[in-house]
Structure 1
Amino acid sequence: MVHRIVHQHHPHDIQYSLEDVATEASAFVDDLTDDLEDCKVIGYPLPAGEAWVLYSRGTSGTAEDISASLAADEMGDTLSEMDSTSRVIAIWLLNFFAEMQTEERELGNSLSIYKELEIERVPEAVNQIDWDGSVTDVAGRLMSNLVLRHSLPNANHRTGITMAQAYLEAAGANFEMPSTTTEEYEWRAWVRPYILESKRILTVRRHNLYFNTLAELGCEVVRRKHDIDIPLTEYDLDMHHHEAWTVYAQMHEEHCIGLVEDIAARGGSSELIDRAALSEQDFVEFLQNENADGNEK
């Protein structure tokens, strides 16, 4: 049976995600026989040949599994080594993650995690932010770079959008996005497509060379978990990985700025699309006040 769809996450266990692609069945023999490797392989008969996909197991569990890390002495050392802007943003992120964990616990759930906590990556995000331009430009860059660095174990898109909202509020917006945890989230219909395309861009950015091999073999769609389809013909895949890393980061930033402009317009603050950006220092002071308020609760 010829396939035209390849799964980015193992179709029977989404804890395993695409790690490599080969055209020969023997390519991953060493991986499968290595006792230290936790992986699976699937062969996909495609129109122009067979593709063999290596899936490796990622981090799984719940936020409770990393609670000790949040309180460990090493966390304080990590924060103390950051510049002031990165440190304030990192503390805000940790507070926000703790709030999400509390919300889920109150609903009788546990917040799942899909990767390790990497709060040390926050300075990488901050160092890429251009603080010049309009309010929505900078808010979109904040969102994009935080999502790109993926420093939290889960909910990085939700966190990035909330950080962008905080920047809009700091710059004078007077609205609040509805909660993303309730069915009454009336913005879901138009926010969801932005998030799905963001995930597609990030996935292509990581795997363009693998996807290019699959496309050459006749694969039409790579399917992420939760049935998010990536039509391969809609993306430029034939480029060096380093070039793709830059090209798709820029595309992602423009995509996030577009979302933030839509948020501002729908929230009745369209003037922020043209208003000069808030300074880095003013935003840091705004977040410091938010962090202080959170610690008092």
Structure 2
Amino acid sequence: MADAPPAVQLHHPADSRFSLAFITDEKTERVRKAQVLTEDPDIEVVIREETIGGNQLYLLYTKTRFDAAYQSFETTEEVLEWLDEHFSDADKQILFVVINAFDGIISETEDANGTFSTYKSMDLEAIPTILNNVEWRQSVPEVGAQLLSQFILTHPMPNTNHRTGLSLLDRYLTSYDPSATLPATGEEGQWYDWIKEYIYDSKQLLTLRNNLQLLYWAHQYGYEAVERKEGIRIEFSAVDLERSDPWDYYADRHLDLTREFVVSTVLEQVGASHLRERTDDGKRAFADRLRATR
């Protein structure tokens, strides 16, 4: 059997918390770029060397230091001031759902003797932007799809963004029908079959949206594909690496994927097909329902 064409590793093979940030075939450029990246005390940098097509390549991988991934406050007063400064009353209720879901995922991971890792900084201040990008007062499945897709695309958490976004979708649906609870999505390190295809397709689109320029250069240096840490492989021959609008193009594709997932899979899984005909009553009304059930 012939060997598969060479694939660039999006995450460092020895430590998947490190993500590819830069590729060069020039040693001096590698040193310069590494120096620039290490000027940020919150960033760790490691360098891999590979030979592709006879060319020596330098791949720089980065990750956020653990302590830098989380926002820290000295007093309760500081927390309250920060909340009042950055969030409306309605946004706070939804923010609490996100934080509780994230904390629950961390606890489950630790209870299962797992290690929770971070690969970026937490950006809770992005939550209002996510909510403002949702077009409320449409059908419940459409609003749910936008809410989930916007959360995943924005990626505000230092890890588990898909699981946290799914928890937010769960609270949104159960605010209309308490029985419409999402089933378990998977165990540590794996996804259950009912959701696996959506997760893998979503991560493929995220990879292309966030890294297309980097992947273009990887192809120029001789790579024929990219592989993520989950074993997801994208062949460059199937991608327009010179697309000028990857940010918008793949965001649209991701929303299309999520719409289909919510309508065809989620509502079936939760036994709530009747919600297809229900019209959303707005962000404030959703926040009011959350406040009433806290």
Which TM-score band applies after superposition, normalised by the shorter structure?
A: 0.7 to 0.9
Equivalent positions of 1:5-154 (< 5 A) are: 5-32=7-34, 36=39, 38-46=44-52, 51-60=57-66, 66=70, 69=73, 73-81=77-85, 82-154=87-159
TM-score scaled by length of structure 2: 0.83
Deviations 1:59-116 (CA, angstroms, capped at 9, x unpaired): 3479xx9596597544322321212332221121112222333334444445333322
Deviations 1:196-215 (CA, angstroms, capped at 9, x unpaired): 22112112111111112223
Instruction: Give the letter for the 2:200 counterpart.
Output: L
Question: Counterpart in 2 of 1:295?
Answer: none
Question: Counterpart in 2 of 1:4?
Answer: 6
2:165 to 155, 160, 181: 160
Q: Give the Cα separation in 2 of the matches to 1:31 and 1:6.
A: 19
1:219–1:132 distance in 2 versus 1, CA, 3 Å: farther
Q: Give the Cα separation in 1 of the matches to 2:248 and 2:13.
A: 30
> Does structure 1 residue 228 correspond to structure 2 residue 232?
yes
CA contact (8 A) 2:34 2:60 kept: no
1:48–1:132 distance in 2 versus 1, CA, 3 Å: farther
Structure 1 position 160, deviation (Å): 0.8
What SS does the aligned partner of 1:177 have? coil
Question: Counterpart in 2 of 1:264?
Answer: 267
Question: Counterpart in 1 of 2:248?
Answer: 246
Deviations 1:132-176 (CA, angstroms, capped at 9, x unpaired): 432111001111111222222222111111211222222336332
Percentage of pairs with the same residue:
26
Question: Counterpart in 2 of 1:255?
Answer: 257
- Could you list the runs of 5+ residues in structure 2 that have no partner in the other structure? none
What SS does the aligned partner of 2:16 have? coil
Equivalent positions of 1:164-203 (< 5 A) are: 164-172=169-177, 174-180=179-185, 182=187, 188-203=192-207
Structure 1 position 48, deviation (Å): 9.6
Question: Counterpart in 2 of 1:213?
Answer: 217
1:219–1:91 distance in 2 versus 1, CA, 3 Å: same
Q: Give the Cα separation in 2 of the matches to 1:84 and 1:48.
A: 59
Instruction: Give the letter for the 2:20 counterpart.
Output: L
Q: How many residue pairs were aligned? A: 285
| CA-atom RMSD in angstroms | 3.1
Structure 1 position 192, deviation (Å): 1.3
Instruction: Give the letter for the 1:135 counterpart.
Output: V
CA contact (8 A) 2:63 2:119 kept: no
Q: Give the Cα separation in 1 of the matches to 2:112 and 2:287.
A: 32
Instruction: Give the letter for the 1:226 counterpart.
Output: E
1:253–1:76 distance in 2 versus 1, CA, 3 Å: farther
Instruction: Give the letter for the 2:26 counterpart.
Output: E
Q: Give the Cα separation in 1 of the matches to 2:114 and 2:120.
A: 19
Q: Give the Cα separation in 2 of the matches to 1:126 and 1:28.
A: 40
- Could you list the runs of 5+ residues in structure 1 that have no partner in the other structure? 293-297
1:79–1:33 distance in 2 versus 1, CA, 3 Å: closer
Q: Give the Cα separation in 2 of the matches to 1:178 and 1:25.
A: 50
1:257–1:57 distance in 2 versus 1, CA, 3 Å: same
TM-score scaled by length of structure 1: 0.82
CA contact (8 A) 2:183 2:270 kept: no
CA contact (8 A) 1:2 1:47 kept: no
> Does structure 1 residue 287 correspond to structure 2 residue 287?
no
